[in-house]
Structure 1
Amino acid sequence: MSSSANRFRHESLQDCQSIINYLIALKDGFESGALLFSTDGRNLVLKPDGLINLNVEAKRKGEEIKLSLKMRWSENEGGGNPEDQPLLIEPIKAS
C-alpha cells in the first residue's frame, strides 16, 4: 500500500462481497462526481467529468484469472470522441 498527494495504490485480498461494495462505491462516486480513496490515514480525491477513457482487460492463464479496469480522464478537458464500438459486460449464471 502506498499513496502520496497525487498517487494512491492499494492491494489486498478481498472476498466477492467486498469487491461488490467497492464497485458500488465507484458507481456512486462517478454519479456524484467525486471519489475518495483512503487507507492508513492517506487520502486522494478524484473528480471524474467529461469523457473517460475506459480500458478493460480480462484473461485466463491456467487457473489464474486477471481482470483489470482502468479509467483515465483529464481534469482540464472534457472533449474527445467516445469509442465507436460499445462494450458489453453482463452477468451470466455460474455453473
Structure 2
Amino acid sequence: MRTDGKSFRHESLQDTKAIRDLLKSISQGLKEGHLSFSDADGEIVMEPEGLLQFKLTAAKRQGRHRINMRISWQVDESPEKKEKSLAVRSRR
C-alpha cells in the first residue's frame, strides 16, 4: 500500500467472494457519493459526483486473465466559481 493523502494503492491476493464484496462496497459508495479506501498504512476519501468516466478493458494472454476498470471524475475545488452568478442586460 502507498498513501500520501492524495493517492492510495493496495495490492493483495483475494478470493472471488472477497472481490465481490469489495466491488459491492465500491458500488454502494458510488451510489452514496462517498468512498473511503483504507488499510493499516492510511486512508483516502473521495466524493464522486456528476458525470464519471468509465473505462473497462479485458485481456487473456498466455494463461493470465486480466480485467481493468477505471472510474474518474473532475472535481471543481474552487468554491468561488460556484457562487458567482451571471447577469445579462440589454440597452433598453
Check whether TM > 0.5: yes
Counting matched residue pairs gives: 77
Shift, 1:46, TM fit: 0.5
- Distance in 2 (alpha carbons) for counterparts of 1:14 and 1:4: 24
Q: Aligned residue for 2:73? A: 73
Structure 2 length-normalised TM: 0.80
Shift, 1:4, TM fit: 1.1
Instruction: Check conservation: 2:2, 2:41, Cα contact below 8 A.
Output: no
Q: Aligned residue for 1:40? A: 40
Larger Rg: 2
Shift, 1:68, TM fit: 0.3
Structure 1 length-normalised TM: 0.77
Q: Aligned residue for 1:30? A: 30
Structure with the higher fraction of residues in helix conformation: 2
Please state whether the residue corresponding to 2:76 is helix, strand or coil: coil
Aligned residues: CA RMSD:
1.3
Q: Aligned residue for 1:88? A: none
Shift, 1:63, TM fit: 1.1
- Runs of 5+ consecutive residues of structure 1 not aligned to the other structure: 78-95
Deviations 1:3-55 (A, max 9, x none): 11100000000000000000000011011110000011411000000011111
What amino acid does structure 1 have at the position aligned with 2:16?
Answer: C
